[in-house]
């Protein structure tokens, strides 16, 4: 199963905190807890969990319902990003979220390139209609 980006981000925050606690990281080099506040991590994790449930419930190869699931998660992620002053997801995080959406669909048997092609877009554009982050 695809690992949620929020889980990877949390692990990085925890690793940094451990480094601070044991003295292997200087406080001046610590920034991850600001970049990934707990509210961003928890809300993103919840949004992605909801997406997983939506994808689990998809009928086989139903393009419209697949795009509805993508739309729902992207709109929620837009709200989360806005709640964090429009800076919750920077370039790397945006790429991770898009890959996660793609991988989750793929793991559930959806041919993402074919899904995108039937809509006349590329695989990398499946979130673009709704994505503000």
| pTM, 2 dp | 0.92
Long-range contact list for 105-114, CB < 8 A, 24+ apart?
Answer: 105/55, 105/66, 105/70, 107/1, 107/2, 108/55, 108/56, 108/58, 109/60, 110/55, 110/58, 110/61, 110/66, 111/61
User: What is the distance between the alpha carbons of residues 71 and 67, in angstroms, rounded to a whole number?
Assistant: 6
With CA atoms as reference, report the closest residue to 66 among 10, 118, 7: 118
Average pLDDT over residues 105-113: 95
Average pLDDT over residues 47-66: 93
Average pLDDT over residues 78-98: 95
Q: Are 127 and 74 in contact (CB under 8 A)?
A: yes
In this prediction, residue 60 has a pLDDT band, given cuts at 50, 70 and 90, of: confident
Tens-digit pLDDT profile for residues 19-34 = 999 999 889 888 899 9
- Does residue 64 have a pLDDT over 90? yes
Residue-level pLDDT at 105? 97
The mean-pLDDT minimum among 1-10, 53-62, 65-74, 97-106 falls in 53-62
């Amino acid at each position: 199963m695809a690992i949620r980006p929020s889980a990877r981000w949390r692990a990085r925050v925890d690793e940094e905190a451990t480094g601070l606690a044991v003295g292997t990281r200087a406080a001046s080099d610590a920034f991850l807890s600001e970049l990934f506040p707990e509210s961003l991590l928890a809300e993103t994790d919840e949004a992605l969990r909801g997406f997983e449930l939506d994808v689990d419930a998809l009928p086989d190869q139903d393009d419209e319902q697949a795009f509805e699931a993508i739309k729902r998660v992207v709109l929620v992620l837009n709200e989360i990003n806005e709640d964090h002053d429009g800076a919750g997801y920077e370039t790397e995080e945006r790429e991770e979220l898009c890959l996660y959406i793609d991988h989750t669909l793929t793991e559930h048997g959806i041919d993402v390139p074919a899904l995108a092609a039937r809509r006349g877009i590329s695989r990398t554009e499946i979130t673009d209609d709704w994505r503000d982050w």
